[in-house]
Structure 1
């Protein structure tokens, strides 16, 4: 399992990134300042570091400089700074990539996947087969008895989050945040609509689902093996 260290002084940003990365089977640890980040690295080396530049003690440039004195761990700078000089400095100091806030979660995850591939640690593939249904979550492809089933991008995002945590309850707020972002954590009607569509497409009997289960008032669970 790929271990990602998220270094950011914004608790909301740390939480959003943690939810989205864990939903894809990344192991995540967070730090709110530079010294804490370096301590975590000293105790256990991450596979990828997401590093904000605007930290309250050591800034991200200082953290990156220290890291490069003893490790070549991949570092993706995630910063609100938009000046080209900041980007050039970070890359010159050894950052592997630079993404500017605000960003889309999908873009950031694509950068993490690309960086993971370069160091030989790619997001794990996931294929689920049950009752004639085959879900290739990695390639976003679904078939039943060889017949292809079309899911929308949002439906695939929901399926992926649930499938990568199969057997475990995913709470409504966590699923909403992972798919739409933290501003939508109370929009439970979004989930009801899309889950109904997913069941119509993927369950043998949408009225009696056996794969995508609802835990009333709590969340959803995927039971596929």
Structure 2
């Protein structure tokens, strides 16, 4: 599975348990050393399938994922992982094209950092993602009209009918529903839902809103729950209020 005894710390306890999926041995060794010095226990895998198996078997607190893996593209691995696990994932890669960043975040990544980066920056991002994951433990379900969102179970329903949502669709719907009646700017949504505080594509928000509308059985011309405010942002409302 591409894991050496020197690079692996057993999962368990209060020390953050990380899984690093990285095929470059020099990068892998350097990151293991740097993250271990900063208080993390780090296990490693050097292929996508080895990483997937280890993530399922060992259930780490967070995965650091390179996209350029020898056996499978990292984004495809991320989608496979999201099908079986909610473990937080930080993509750490040399790919810096906006389209690839958007693809990875839409596939379920919690954060994205471009190589080269400092170990302190990666450590800070890991701690931030783990804090967000802790904050999402056991939250109360949110109800807006006949729409119900359970963030703990990551389940949503409308009129008692389950909605089948992609990870970012669910995150967007929950963020808006938790702030029902408030107009949320696209910049805030990109920052809070996509974790892209330094800018991103407004079209990413527009596309996901369009997908959500379709699943909620409404259109932009005849909205019920999701309303766009031109030049400002998006809000969710109770259509019966």
Structure 2 residues not aligned, in runs of 5+: 1-14, 136-241
1:115 to 124, 129, 140: 129
TM-score normalized by structure 2?
Answer: 0.49
Deviation per CA, 1:139-184: give whole Å up to 9, x if none: xxxxxxxxxxxxxxxxxxxxxxxxxxxxxxxxxxxxxxxxxxxxxx
- Whose relative contact order is higher, 1 or 2, with alpha carbons under 8 Å and at least 6 apart? 1
Shift of 1:56: 0.1
CA contact (8 A) 2:56 2:85 kept: no
Q: How many residues align?
A: 121
1:75 aligns with 2:98: no
C-alpha distance in 2 between matches for 1:89 and 1:77: 11
| 3-state SS in 2 of match to 1:66 | helix
Task: Find 1:102's aligned residue among 116, 120, 140.
Answer: 116
Distance 1:8 1:56 in 2: 10
Partner of 2:30: 16
For residues 39-188 of structure 1, the aligned pairs below 5 Å read: 39-120=53-134
SS of corresponding position for 1:91: helix
Distance 1:41 1:114 in 2: 20
Separation in 2, partners of 1:35, 1:62: 11
Q: Which runs of 4+ in 1 moved over 2 A?
A: none
- 1:25 alignment partner, SS class: coil
2:19 alignment counterpart: 5
- Residues 2-24 of structure 1: per-residue CA shift (max 9 Å, x gap): 11000111111111111111112
RMSD over aligned Cα, in angstroms?
A: 1.2
Q: Do the aligned residues in 1 keep the contact of 2:94 with 2:116 (CA within 8 Å)?
A: yes
1:116 aligned counterpart, secondary structure = helix
User: Given the alignment, which residue of 13, 28, 31 partners 2:45?
Assistant: 31
TM-score by length of 1: 0.52
SS in 2 for 1:9: coil
Is the contact between residue 18 and residue 43 of structure 2 (CA under 8 Å) also seen in structure 1? yes
Question: What CA distance in whole angstroms lies between the structure 2 residues aligned with 1:79 and 1:24?
Answer: 21
What are the ranges of 5 or more consecutive residues in structure 1 without an aligned counterpart? 122-225
d(CA) in 1 for partners of 2:63, 2:105: 14
Match of residue 189 from structure 1: none
1:120 to partner: Cα distance: 2.3
